Chains A and B, each alone.
Chain A
């Protein structure tokens, strides 16, 4: 700790930081542009100047850029010094010379860092009267809008895009005062993290293109804390609504999960909520078209439940509460997971590993601190994008610790650090079926079939800790690689093993667990991260339930005749024939969902549920962190949360438990009572009767406009504002104006800070944890008492089969996830279906790039264009998962290549 004097007031501050972050942490208002807490300082914009004095007798002082100056004990500085203030006002005056007169038509307006800083420095009137510089804009794809005139040359965009996120196609061009930030030519930004540019850019050069289509100022949005539903990582988001439709997703800082950034799937996938295929009315199919109201639907459902014997199928994308409610309604024995059996087994195995292993699963921010990473089988950029971004930071750890600390450069000195480190990166080993975007950072890559990957993993574990089972018959090269990986992991302070369910291989997960536990056995602070298929896979696994196959069998064997399907398109989890058969054999099919799909088409009773922005609930992410998402806006009476529908059904049929639950909090306490291992769930957020100074927390900012005109076209008499019985948040702008508890911050705002950078005021220290601790409660912690037993299930070597290909699942950031694939902007980025096969195999089979290849998996026929891959193992092939036009198959699986028979053109009979 050091004592510094800001304008003669002493403050106790931690050392090692720069003056700017220290001042911001202390709550001082100091303007800045080029500095970003996640990216460090480069001292380019000269905006954060302060006076620094030699000692208490020094009255003159010198101007310093606070972002480039390290905190020293006894330092005396002045922020309000007239000379410093005038300097800052001048700098912003220069930055503004070419800034266009655009605020009224600029999407950043009202949430603009440049506006905030201009006001903060007091540059109220422009005194530049000459011509302004202009630029042509570029087309940057469906996510971002480009308006280059507004640029103030702070370099944040290229520093983020290239240095932080590893993008290749955004750069700075031209020279002197003609700098141009964009692509070499018009085109889609390739990075999966491009959307963050909209938040990184301090002004309106890069703005959210999806927001532009239904533009709303930040002050007009009704916002609520939400959790991303598009992968298992559970990044925190802020969802904003206006006039009944969802308008935007912005980052909600969580110092342990997503930090300052989101991936494009999470940021732009929200449009599925506004999609035309939304289910907005409940219906009873036998009684169409008139039976489309809530009570008829409820009656029909109740009748079906009373008359039949029911089973329930849960969902990995529905909240914990909804799944639990269904489980209670149908009974524990009749509750099935609506995921394919492979997925079911792998998720359960992952849960078991996290529970029983002695290695802790680190949060994403902890992964960034790892100094050696071994990835087994996961293409992170496509299955858990934000984790890939974390790994990108992790590879910088070792050079940071080794070189930078030796050179005595503070880590926030970004330019100096990058100059010193150059392209050096710490140990990162990637073993995957085919190339991934992280390969460029890897020390070594290993492309092989899942069995070989698992065998490599087992071999590494065996080298680290000989009690772990060994692998026989490994090639010399592989043995050498295993040795190299083991050495790197042993040398590191915080090694992390990353694996997951996306390859569909149990052996890989077990191998990863063995490595992590071997490291622990050698007293290393090792971590294991496992990615899961869906946003609530972990929560569903913790609730427990039977496989989907047994649901099919229950109907087939007349054990049950009625099924309740919760937010689930079964056609994405089992083969078409099976599901169609199953749904046909059911006497009554009750479906709760919010998007029309093949399953809802066959529902006898369809109940319209709320999408993530119209529902309250809890998701458990891949690290076992339970996080609450809040309803953003009131809905029409017909649309309500699945757990509320199921609760109403339970109350009508007088279910002995459900009838006693009144409201959200009761369900939470029931879950904890039923599942003691989920203790802490009720503490994730304050209860719904929580009030600060007797007031609720407003979802809308205090400047929210148009309240007395929004609905005036329907009726000039304004209705009473909707009430939210489930949470301490109110739907209006009335309520407590201070900072709410960290788990329920609807939006970041502080006086003078209208942009998202107001988050500085909500953090304990800049870039650290939120005040009061980061939201979310981890339900899984390793038990130090438990002795881990190494898995001995070392897989056999993979043997290709003649006339067959072993099909591996290939995931895509855009398209593989069900909900985001319904978003209009994401749809533009979904790749065409393909089958990736080894180049040598293709040569043998006389197939060329783009040629159609027919094959069959378990009777499901496919005919897809070939994509040649030099890396995918011979005898295996990659099939994209979940893309439109690729029917479901439980992967990995053997495919029969039967070119002659299956696709012979049928003879046309002519009469």
Chain B
């Protein structure tokens, strides 16, 4: 009897507590920055596409919902020819972000992706690519990679010596 009264009392007290529910959608949820929501492709500080089409996100994906094709521009810079995520399969596990060596693919705190037609959940590169660096600022993969691309020749990356002069015997 006592426990019954106590439970009712506690429940009654909740009427005066601060609300945990919010009036979504009028009121938006405040999500932590590391919240794993919609996936985007970001750009490096120079505005170039960060994705180098290495396929690591695709192979890390447990539901195999990422597919892409690598291609190169005339200077040898690699980028995805197409990049497709089937969000109707995505489980938002974030493995793709973990696997990405260039910080290109990122999960952002946005979940409002509901669709009436499942086909609309297939996102192509134009839907994924954003005009900024996303969560990780200042990283440019090609500044540390050894490949020469447009605007960065051999030996011009970070921590690189100028190219070897093959004809020199000087140490």
Chain A residues at the B interface, C-beta cutoff of 8 Å = 100-105, 109-110, 129-137, 147, 149-150, 173-176, 178, 180, 212, 214-217, 219-220, 243, 703-710, 712-713, 715-717
Contact = CB atoms under 8 A, between A and B. Distances in A.
B146 A134 contact: yes
Contact of A132 (B55, B85, B101, B146): B146
A286 to B, nearest CB: 40
A706 B52 contact: no
Nearest to A710: B67
Contacts of A101: 144-146
A150 B71 CA distance: 21
Interface in B76-116: 78, 84-86, 88-89, 101-102
Given A104-B52, A134-B146, A136-B163, 6 more contacts: A100-B147, A105-B147, A129-B159, A132-B160, A215-B70, A709-B85
A104 B68 contact: no
Contact of B161 (A102, A133, A712): A133
A147 B84 contact: no
Contacts of A175: 169
B41 interface: no
B147 to A, nearest CB: 6
Nearest to A707: B64
B56 interface: yes
A332 to B, nearest CB: 49
Interface string B19-47: 00000000000000000000000000000
A129 B159 CA distance: 8
B167 to A, nearest CB: 7
A484 B53 CA distance: 61
B59 A219 contact: yes
Contacts of B144: 101
B150 to A, nearest CB: 14
A132 B84 contact: no
Contacts of B59: 217, 219-220, 703, 705
Given A706-B66, A712-B122, A715-B119, A180 B166 contact: yes
Dominant secondary structure at the A interface: loop
29 contacts: A101-B146, A104-B141, A105-B147, A110-B55, A134-B161, A134-B163, A134-B164, A149-B154, A174-B166, A176-B171, A178-B164, A180-B164, A212-B72, A215-B53, A215-B69, A243-B69, A705-B55, A705-B59, A706-B58, A706-B67, A708-B63, A708-B64, A709-B65, A709-B89, A709-B122, A712-B65, A712-B84, A715-B119, A716-B118
Interface string B124-145: 1000000000000000010011
A716 B86 contact: yes
A426 to B, nearest CB: 36
Contacts of A133: 161, 164
B46 to A, nearest CB: 17
B162 interface: yes
Contacts of A136: 154, 163
Nearest to B57: A705
Nearest to A704: B64
Given A130-B159, A708-B63, A713-B84, A104 B167 contact: no
Most buried by A among B59, B61, B162, B171: B59
A100 B164 contact: no
A727 B58 CA distance: 29
A131 B86 contact: no
B119 A709 contact: no
B168 interface: yes
A214 B71 CA distance: 7
B48 interface: no
Nearest to A99: B146
Contacts of B124: 713
A720 to B, nearest CB: 16
* Nearest 10 Cβ contacts at the A-B interface: A100-B146, A706-B67, A104-B54, A705-B58, A709-B67, A149-B146, A712-B86, A707-B64, A709-B86, A134-B155
A129 B148 CA distance: 21
Contacts of A173: 166
A210 to B, nearest CB: 13
B155 to A, nearest CB: 4
A175 B52 CA distance: 34
Most chain B CB atoms below 10 A, which of A109, A129, A215: A215
Given A706-B66, A708-B63, A217 B55 contact: yes
By secondary structure, the B interface counts as loop
Contacts of A149: 146-147, 154
Nearest to A215: B70
Nearest to A178: B164
A105 B154 contact: no
Given A101-B145, A147-B147, A705 B67 contact: yes
Interface-central residue, B118, B145, B168, by most chain A CB under 10 Å: B145
Contact of B163 (A100, A135, A709): A135
A322 to B, nearest CB: 33
A649 to B, nearest CB: 38
* Residue from the set B68, B145, B163, B164 with the largest chain A CB neighbour count within 10 Å: B164
Given A132-B159, A134-B164, A716-B118, A709 B146 contact: no
B164 A135 contact: yes
A409 B169 CA distance: 35
B168 A178 contact: yes
B39 to A, nearest CB: 12
A509 B2 CA distance: 110
B159 A105 contact: no
A220 B65 contact: no
A132 to B, nearest CB: 5
Contact of A716 (B119, B147, B155, B161): B119
A713 B81 CA distance: 14
Nearest to B76: A105
Contacts of A217: 55, 59
A216 B72 CA distance: 13
Contact of B101 (A103, A174, A178): A103
B75 to A, nearest CB: 13
Contact of A104 (B61, B65, B84, B145): B145
Given A180-B164, A212-B72, A105 B88 contact: no
A122 to B, nearest CB: 20
B68 A706 contact: yes
A703 B165 CA distance: 42
Contacts of A131: 159-161
A212 B147 CA distance: 14
B145 A102 contact: yes
Contacts of B165: 178
A704 B147 CA distance: 27
A231 to B, nearest CB: 32
B89 to A, nearest CB: 4
A129 B158 CA distance: 11
Contacts of B58: 220, 705-706
> Which of A103, A212, A219, A707 has the most CB atoms of chain B within a 10 A radius of its CB?
A707
B31 to A, nearest CB: 26
Contacts of A243: 69
Contacts of A176: 171
Nearest to A701: B59
Contacts of A708: 63-65, 86, 89
Contacts of B61: 705-706
A100 B161 CA distance: 12
Nearest to A129: B159
A717 B122 CA distance: 11
A176 B55 CA distance: 36
A863 B37 CA distance: 70
Nearest to B124: A713
Nearest to A145: B76
Contact of A709 (B66, B101, B169, B171): B66
A886 B130 CA distance: 55
Contacts of B86: 708-709, 712, 716
B164 A104 contact: no
Contacts of A706: 58, 61, 64-68
Given A105-B78, A705-B66, A708-B64, A134 B162 contact: yes
